[in-house]
Amino acid sequence: MKNLKLVLLLVTGFCLLTACEKNVHYWGDDSPGNTLKNGPETSLLITVPLKGDFTVVPEAMMPDETYEEYGFKLIMAGDGTMSHLGKMTTRMIFWAEGGPVGPYGYGSGTFVAANGDELYFEFDEGLIVWNEKENADFYLTRFNDPIQFSGGTGRFEGATGSMMSNAFVHYPDPNVEGDFWHTDFFSYGTLTMEK
């Protein structure tokens, strides 16, 4: 009986040792243990609605022959608010014919969020037209063209998406003291970024 107990004890011990043996099977280049240790991919993209209300004024307008279809280079700067950025500033550069209406293009710029994160944007081409909407007594011209997001810094690194400019241009009334030329944007769209 002692021999039977000893044999059963040895068999049980041997079974326990082999059951605890490390798994040596591999999936691709990583063992299952290594794959699980690294964990699943944690990057998750989310798309959120975007709304911006901001104003820009001319920083510079100069004759420029970089693009033969346009005669002027314009630099605009301003500030306002935008969802997912909070209070923000912006600066943009583009080329235009130079008249009150007509095409513009080759644009790029940056929205800078309240915390300093930057969201980059581009716009290929657009068209400024006479404003025939109900606010035409204040805004002489308008444009509503797509703007594409092209990455950024901080939480906007790798961001994509687009918005419509939905912008209105006010020309100063010489009879109103302190009136100035500016463009008001009431933009809307979507922004895709990492959660």
**Residue 159 placed within a domain:** yes
Residue 180 C-beta-side C-alpha neighbours within 13 Å:
9
Mean pLDDT of 157-165: 97
Asked whether residue 15 is domain-assigned, the answer is: no
Quick: pLDDT tens for 81-112. 999 999 999 999 999 998 899 999 999 999 99
Q: How far apart are CA 46 and CA 158, in angstroms?
A: 12
Q: What confidence tens digit (pLDDT) does each residue in 21-68 have? A: 444 444 445 555 555 555 555 568 999 999 999 999 999 999 999 999
Distance CA(65)–CA(126), nearest Å, equals 19
Whether pLDDT at 175 is above 60: yes
Considering the chain, what is the average pLDDT of its residues?
87
The answer to whether position 175 is within a domain reads: yes
CATH code of the domain in which 163 resides: 2.40.160
Angle 12-15-19 from CA coordinates, rounded to 5°: 140
* Residue-level length of the chain: 195
The pTM is what? 0.77
User: What's the pLDDT score for residue 128?
Assistant: 97
pLDDT average, residue stretch 11-22:
54
Q: Is residue 21 a part of any domain in this protein?
A: no
Instruction: Tell whether 22 is covered by a domain.
Output: no
Q: What is the pLDDT of residues 115-148, one digit of tens each?
A: 999 999 999 999 999 999 999 999 999 999 999 9
For the chain, what is the domain count?
1
In a domain, 116, yes or no: yes
Is residue 31, in this structure, part of any structural domain at all? no
E-strand stretches of 69-117: 72-82, 86-96, 102-112
Q: What are phi and psi of 29, to 5 degrees?
A: -90, -10
Residue 182 has pLDDT above 70, yes or no: yes
What range does the domain containing 170 cover?
49-194
The pLDDT score that the predictor gives to residue 98 is 86
**Confidence (pLDDT) at 32:** 53
In a domain, 12, yes or no: no
Virtual torsion, Cα 80, 83, 88, 90, nearest 10 deg: -80
* pLDDT value at residue 39: 55
